Chain A
């Protein structure tokens, strides 16, 4: 992680300033104003598609492709009502539950296994450690595309097709190198005094991990969970390959299904369900971002 930038305005001395200094100050202020204007305009332009999406989901089908405005002329929640019902025997409630059945075991398994493995790398020496660490870094760059087909064949052999197991079981083995690497970096920046003290007091290494390291590592663990949550909610190819029956569809597949079945006429249903599909990630992002930043500043983690 990087050091927290100093965002406070520079302390201003009370002595009278020279014309030169005043000029620089004026220029700085003008620069700041220009930056604010550019950043705001650009940010609005960038986020407008998302803002428009929310408005459009309350529009009638006729209005969606006739107005670029955010605010609907006659707001209706018909899109949400019809979209939620879907053209299948199930409602979106089912698909959200299905997504949860994938996300929860994947998130917990990732956090748990990544912490344990990172602890092994950060705090112990063992033969072959350097090579294994090199492999870990190399797998950061290994494209999934090259392992996907045999993985499919393996899970097919195990009879796991059309279950959620292929989507989360590999993550129980700390296979997301990015997380392990991040946790190792965090652990290296934590001073070891407390761990050594706990060892002297008779705690075993696992107790040290659980009672000393994990609490200090909490901000990093939360960000692992956060990332994994987002990635899993966004994952489409995994479910597309492994999940075949509609009753097991997660949100991403269900959304694709509603495009295929209703798009020709009911755009507002699709947009409404798109809003709902994005909502969990957005909500978690805004809540956890605050927690994450607080965690970093209160924990004083710095490196």
Chain B
């Protein structure tokens, strides 16, 4: 548009450039710097080289426990939630009149899920005498100590995340509905069963969306805070003490800003490496159609 558009374009995106520098780029670099310092807010940051990282990886038992718990949590939550979301999307992807109704109903937990109100609710329904155990007793099963037992607590938090499968499901559903129906017709003439169709037509065609969901859900799961903070506060026996909780405690309770920044950077590097692996491997398993309309 017009000859002066070069400057106009920059003018329009300038809020973003300013915000990016002030609130993203500068803090990003500052936290890297802080991770090499000892800083308690009272004095100026003191350069300590790799000390923080050395302490993290050699002497800090809490960190190694927390790292294990975090990885376990992410590797349980993400596949379970995505499998769930895909399964429901497949069932929903049918000529049902009420599809909109079900889509909305299943989406509700995602809308509310991150709030602390839901975390509070979760505490109640999974309490020893809570709703879930009442249900289990009613059908003749033993009640489970959902949060009191270190063996179960992390899994119960995983359930909370999986309950919020709605947003991933909506994305899957949109992808499923764009799969060309004639492919199914052609393959069923060739004698393919439902499972074969799913395995060899549906899944390959929606791999871009699987990839997208996989990355977004992984990045989110690594940052889970509200659930464990409200429901278990990291316990029992630190079995739900995810790294974001540890960072929060170090930074905003003991004001150990340097050390907390070092943990944050370790978490960031883990997320980044996993994302890069996903991107790199995507060339092998993600299918991109040359022309979407063909």
Q: Is the CB of A132 within 8 A of B264?
A: no
A-B contact pairs, 7 of them (CB 8 A): A3-B177, A35-B94, A48-B131, A50-B109, A50-B121, A125-B6, A241-B248
Q: Is the CB of A281 within 8 A of B27?
A: no
A289–B125 alpha-carbon span in the complex (Å): 28
Query: Which interface residue of A143, A252, A274 has the most chain B CB atoms within 10 A?
Result: A143
Query: Which interface residue of A42, A50, A64, A274 has the most chain B CB atoms within 10 A?
Result: A274
| A30 close to chain B: CB less than 8 A | no
| Chain B 17-34 interface mask (CB, 8 Å, partner A; 1/0) | 111101110111011001
Residues of A with C-beta under 8 A to B223: 143-145
Residue of A nearest to B250 (CB): A149
| A18 close to chain B: CB less than 8 A | no
| B226 close to chain A: CB less than 8 A | yes
Q: Is the CB of A2 within 8 A of B108?
A: no
Residue of A nearest to B88 (CB): A42
Q: Is the CB of A146 within 8 A of B31?
A: yes
| B144 close to chain A: CB less than 8 A | no
A153–B40 alpha-carbon span in the complex (Å): 11
CB distance from A273 to the nearest CB of B (A): 8
A141-B215, A149-B34 known; A123 vs B1 contact (CB < 8 Å)? yes
Interface locus among B56-64, B96-104, B199-207 = B96-104
Q: Is the CB of A282 within 8 A of B268?
A: no
| Chain B 117-150 interface mask (CB, 8 Å, partner A; 1/0) | 1101110110101110011001000000000000
Q: Is the CB of B16 within 8 A of A170?
A: no
A46–B265 alpha-carbon span in the complex (Å): 37
A binding-site residues for B, Cβ under 8 Å? 2-3, 5, 7, 9-10, 31-32, 35-36, 38-39, 42-43, 46-50, 52-53, 56, 64-68, 113, 116-117, 119-121, 123-127, 129, 132, 135-136, 139, 141-154, 170, 172-175, 180, 195, 199, 205, 230-231, 233-234, 236-237, 240-241, 252, 255-256, 259, 267, 270-271, 274, 277-278, 281-282, 285, 289, 293
B1 touches which of A66, A121, A199 (Cβ 8 Å): A199
Q: Is the CB of B13 within 8 A of A68?
A: no
Query: Which interface residue of B16, B24, B31, B116 has the most chain A CB atoms within 10 A?
Result: B16
B268 touches which of A31, A146, A199, A271 (Cβ 8 Å): A146
Residues of B with C-beta under 8 A to A289: 104
CB distance from B276 to the nearest CB of A (A): 10
Q: Is the CB of B15 within 8 A of A116?
A: yes
Q: Is the CB of B19 within 8 A of A170?
A: yes
Residues of A with C-beta under 8 A to B222: 143
| Total count of chain B residues near the partner, CB < 8 A | 88
Q: When A and B form their complex, which 8 residue pairs have the shortest distance between CB atoms, in order from nearest?
A: A173-B19, A120-B12, A124-B9, A126-B9, A150-B27, A150-B30, A120-B13, A147-B27
A150 touches which of B10, B34, B99, B219 (Cβ 8 Å): B34
Q: Is the CB of B16 within 8 A of A149?
A: no
A50–B110 alpha-carbon span in the complex (Å): 13
Residue of B nearest to A67 (CB): B134
Q: Is the CB of A52 within 8 A of B23?
A: no
A149 touches which of B96, B134, B264 (Cβ 8 Å): B264
Q: Is the CB of A68 within 8 A of B111?
A: no
Other A-B contacts than A2-B174, A35-B96, A47-B108, 10 sampled, CB-CB below 8 A, are A2-B178, A47-B109, A123-B1, A145-B244, A147-B24, A154-B23, A174-B15, A281-B111, A281-B115, A285-B108
Residues of A with C-beta under 8 A to B120: 255, 259, 270, 274
| B5 close to chain A: CB less than 8 A | yes
Residues of A with C-beta under 8 A to B177: 2-3, 5
Residue of A nearest to B138 (CB): A68
| B251 close to chain A: CB less than 8 A | yes
- In chain B, positions 145-169 with a C-beta closer than 8 Å to chain A are 163
Residues of B with C-beta under 8 A to A42: 88
A116-B12, A146-B265, A274-B121 known; A32 vs B30 contact (CB < 8 Å)? no
